[in-house]
Amino acid sequence: MIKKTLYFGNPVYLSLKNAQLMIKLPEVVRNDTLPESFKRTSEVTKPIEDIGVVVLDHKQITISSGVLEALLENNCAVITCNSKSMPVGLMLPLYGNTTQNERFRQQLDASLPLKKQLWQQTIKTKIENQAAVLKECSGAEVKCMYAWASDVKSGDTSNLEARAAAYYWKNLFWIEGFTRDREGIPPNNLLNYGYAILRAVVARSLVASGLLPTLGIHHHNRYNAYCLADDIMEPYRPYVDQLVCGIIKQGVDYAELTRELKAQLLTIPVLETYMSGKRSPLMVLSGKLRLLCISALVANCVESPIRKCNMDRFSEYRVMWVLVLFDLPTETKKEKKAYVDFRKNLQRDGFTMFQFSIYVRHCASSENAAVHVKELIFLPEHGNVGIMCITDKQFGNIELFMERKRWK
């Protein structure tokens, strides 16, 4: 399910009430002349489980510890911004998956050849995506980009990523004096903001899968807590670049990050992306990417011209999805607590919300799926619960509609 991105750029009180995010405006709360009925109607609530990213962009935002706890329990990424409205902090849950310890060991045991081959595939895809964006946005010649992509070696020992980047940034914007630099001239400010949102989305998915975002396959920086997120997001940076190109072509002033510009950049989690001929929102795709990363780590090998490995275990007919469908009463306090406890237990076992009252979990095999079905011993006393296991092929054939628009 696509989670919501909430942006707060004004003074606001954020608290927790009935397992929902309560949003209050300070000017309303402090005004003693307003009737209590009006104050209550001005309050806005949002279900915590619907939220994927929260951006805090004002120094006078007050957020309770209960809200932070609830957001992190639901695997939400919380981003804080500085006085220039640039993201400077990212908060993620420490415990995101029941198999976290196992995944950590798999990451630590990953061989150097495996990491180099994963990085080769990452850079090849990144350069190909850069070429597609460059051709669409500026019409520049991109034959050399595709040639570099096909020549990427294991570990990118020839550093073709840097060569492609130099050509890419030189021809993308055609802005005098522009170079890609974090402290450089605009539109570097838009790129910085967009990459920070992308990084949060990817890091959130990694934590949910039980992977350690600090331990990368290529990036190694003792001061960087999200090396793996930086690795996984590389092929999808061009999607941010494409969005920034669209903003520039609108003819608006982008020297400063206005609220309107931020609103456009905050659509990054729902950008339309493609994988294996199918399109999906970027936030959903990031979940698929980390599953591929897990599969490679578990198998400890990747397909390459040098070394072939048996990936049958992770084929679309072998991989399973467990769906839990439930209809629980919430009339009394006891029933509401049972509902909340049941949902939290599902999340602790690695399930994520597909839509209201439907939670799903990815399993590497039918045997693994059977284990998690047996672990569903925390069924509530009242209400109806259904459990269904389907193959990855069947799950991929599900037709999704958002506002009458089919996601394929």
Kindly give the confidence (pLDDT) of every residue in the chain, 408 residues in length, as a single tens digit, with 9 standing for 90 and above.
568 899 999 999 999 988 889 999 998 888 888 888 777 778 888 888 889 899 999 999 999 999 999 999 888 999 999 988 889 999 988 776 556 677 788 888 888 888 898 899 999 999 999 999 999 999 999 999 999 999 999 999 999 999 999 999 999 998 989 999 989 999 999 999 999 999 999 888 888 777 888 888 898 887 788 899 999 999 999 999 999 999 999 999 999 999 899 999 999 988 888 766 677 788 877 766 655 565 555 444 333 332 333 333 334 456 788 999 999 998 898 998 899 889 888 887 878 888 889 998 878 678 778 888 888 878 888 999 999 999 877 887 887 776 666 654
Residues in the chain: 408
Q: How far apart are CA 167 and CA 93, in angstroms?
A: 39
For domain 4-91, is the CATH number 3.40.470.10? no
| CATH class belonging to 317-407 | alpha beta
CB 399 within 8 A of CB 406: yes
The CATH 3.30.70.240 domain(s) of the chain lie at 317-407
User: Parallel, antiparallel, or unpaired: how do β-strands 278-281 and 87-91 relate?
Assistant: unpaired
The CATH 3.100.10.20 domain(s) of the chain lie at 4-91
Nearest by Cα to 55 from 84, 37, 76, 25: 76
The CATH 1.20.120.920 domain(s) of the chain lie at 100-299
Instruction: Output the pTM of the full model.
Output: 0.69
CATH level 2 (architecture), domain 100-299:
Up-down Bundle (1.20)
Tell me: cis bond preceding 93? Omega within 30 of 0 counts: no
